[in-house]
């Protein structure tokens, strides 16, 4: 088998010009990247306009016959749909074409399975896969049922095997969920310990392949995986960032978002998305060289809203500026995002190491502006508390007295909770 795939993209647009598939091209490009990530070669593609979905094949019978003939002509080993197919539709397509038929959901599952690095991520992918495969178990055993005569009141070998497989899958789902619950409790304990520290946290978010890992490494010097692959990062990676004024923050890389990310995979990767919901601020990384940047921004914003991080303060980082030839779309983006929940917009290049100082300054300014102004009188021997203020806050003034010293500063709530006994005034 050469693993040749025919890609099928469904155009749900309202433009009735059957020849106008320009809007579908970005979807086809992304699906091409996805299938190549799992080792498939693209033999050909088809863009299909869909006015009314059908229960049997999603598409009409005439268009289905055309795709089947195209797959045969291209000697395709499989057909990959950009839309999600039901278990029944998947079986019907395989009966019609005689080749393996998978959908976008299956492709993303395969990528996640290959990239998962930790025990928790591996279990989360397994759970998503079991839930996806459960309604599809029947197609594996229907051939055994057909071998039996099927007298009334009797069950074929395929039906018996199906029941066994369903019970096995359901037991495994229960065990995986139980282990994930235990791991989640451990992670929650670690998260509480980390958030008990008076250091603000930020999360890098954005469409997959926007350069989040590269930017994290450029900002912090962190040794993190940097790869030109979709979903290269599936587990949270947290690193410390030293700010010029003495403050510190922790930054977390997160899984890349993507158009039509299956909801069970959003839930499956709660461990990395949780870092987003708990962050004090977000750095939304955009590939400024990508013509689909605005759509990618909207996709990421939509997911952030879904997981409860839609109101968190955002720094927009227009990354890969070294690849930008036409700045028209960038000027429009600056204007378009002015009304959004964005506190700063910075043009950077993680690869060329440009704009990083401006981004760091924007982080420092954001943190300082979010901190209340406080004044503390500290005993002369409590230099540890002074160091804490310098490390986590922004010092505005420091005065020394005979037995004490006074510091006026902006500090985060976690630091203020420690220093409250020494508070003079706000």
Cα separation, 199 vs 242, whole angstroms: 11
pLDDT value at 75 more than 50: yes
Judged by DSSP in three states, 89 sits in helix
Cα separation, 342 vs 315, whole angstroms: 6
Cα separation, 229 vs 51, whole angstroms: 34
User: What is the number of other CB atoms lying within 10 angstroms of the CB of residue 146?
Assistant: 10
Q: Which residues contact 384 (CB under 8 A, 6 or more apart)?
A: none
DSSP per residue, 116-183: --SHHHHHHHHHHHHHHHGGGGGGGTHHHHHHS---TT---HHHHHHHHHHHHHHHHHHHHHHHHHHH
- CA separation, residue 88 to residues 58, 71, 139, 164, 346 (Å): 10, 20, 9, 20, 48
Q: Are strands 237-242 and 314-319 parallel, antiparallel or unpaired?
A: unpaired
Q: Give the pLDDT confidence score for residue 270 in this predicted structure.
A: 60
C-alpha closest to that of 340 among 312, 360, 374:
312
Q: Give the model's confidence band at 410: pLDDT under 50 very low, under 70 low, under 90 confident, else very high.
A: confident
Q: What is the mean pLDDT of residues 233-250?
A: 77
pLDDT value at 67 more than 70: yes
Judged by DSSP in three states, 21 sits in coil
Q: What is the mean pLDDT of residues 324-337?
A: 78
Report which secondary-structure segment, H or E, holds 319.
Answer: strand 314-319
Q: Give the model's confidence band at 46: pLDDT under 50 very low, under 70 low, under 90 confident, else very high.
A: very high
Name 4's bridge partners: 41
User: What are the counts of helices (DSSP H) followed by strands (DSSP E) for the chain?
Assistant: 15, 14
pLDDT value at 156 more than 60: no
pLDDT value at 230 more than 80: no
CB 158 within 8 A of CB 144: yes
> Poorest-confidence range of 43-57, 226-240, 330-344?
226-240
DSSP per residue, 251-273: EEE-PPB-TT--HHHHHHTHHHH
Q: Give the model's confidence band at 141: pLDDT under 50 very low, under 70 low, under 90 confident, else very high.
A: very low
> Poorest-confidence range of 146-150, 179-183, 365-369, 381-385?
146-150
């Amino acid at each position: 088998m050469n693993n040749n795939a025919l890609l099928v993209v469904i155009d749900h647009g309202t433009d009735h010009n059957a020849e106008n598939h320009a809007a579908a091209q970005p979807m086809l490009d992304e699906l091409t990247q996805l299938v190549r990530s799992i080792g498939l070669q693209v033999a050909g593609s088809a863009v299909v306009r869909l006015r009314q979905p059908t229960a049997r094949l999603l598409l009409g019978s005439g268009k289905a016959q055309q795709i089947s003939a195209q797959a045969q002509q291209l000697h395709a080993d499989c057909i990959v749909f950009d839309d999600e197919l039901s278990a029944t539709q998947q079986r019907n397509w395989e009966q019609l074409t005689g080749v393996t038929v998978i959908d976008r959901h299956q492709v993303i599952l395969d990528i996640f399975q290959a990239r998962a690095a930790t025990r928790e991520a591996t279990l989360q992918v397994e759970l998503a896969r079991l839930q996806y495969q459960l309604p599809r178990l029947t197609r594996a055993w229907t051939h055994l049922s057909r071998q039996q005569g099927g007298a009334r009141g009797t069950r074929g070998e395929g039906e018996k095997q199906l029941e066994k497989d369903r019970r096995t899958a359901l037991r495994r789902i229960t065990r995986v969920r139980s282990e994930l619950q235990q791991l989640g409790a451990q992670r929650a304990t670690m998260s509480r310990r980390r958030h008990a520290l008076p250091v603000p946290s930020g999360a890098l978010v954005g469409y997959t392949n926007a350069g989040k890992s590269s930017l994290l490494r450029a900002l912090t010097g962190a040794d993190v995986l940097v790869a030109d692959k979709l979903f290269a990062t599936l587990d949270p990676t947290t690193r410390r960032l030293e700010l010029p004024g003495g403050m510190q923050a922790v930054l977390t890389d997160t899984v890349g978002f993507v158009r039509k990310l299956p909801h069970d995979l959003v839930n499956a990767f709660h461990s990395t998305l949780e870092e987003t919901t708990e962050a004090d601020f977000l750095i939304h990384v955009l590939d400024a060289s990508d013509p689909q940047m605005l759509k990618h921004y909207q996709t990421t914003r939509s997911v952030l809203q879904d997981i409860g991080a839609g109101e968190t303060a955002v720094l927009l980082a227009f990354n890969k500026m070294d690849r930008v030839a036409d700045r028209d779309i960038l000027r429009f983006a600056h204007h378009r995002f002015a009304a959004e929940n964005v506190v700063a917009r910075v043009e950077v290049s993680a690869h060329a190491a440009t704009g990083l100082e401006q981004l760091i300054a924007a982080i420092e300014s954001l943190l300082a502006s979010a901190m209340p102004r406080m004044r503390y009188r500290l005993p002369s021997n409590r230099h540890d508390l002074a160091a804490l203020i310098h490390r986590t806050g922004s010092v505005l003034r420091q005065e020394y007295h005979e037995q004490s010293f006074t510091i006026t500063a902006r500090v985060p709530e976690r630091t203020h909770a420690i220093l409250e006994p020494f508070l003079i005034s706000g």
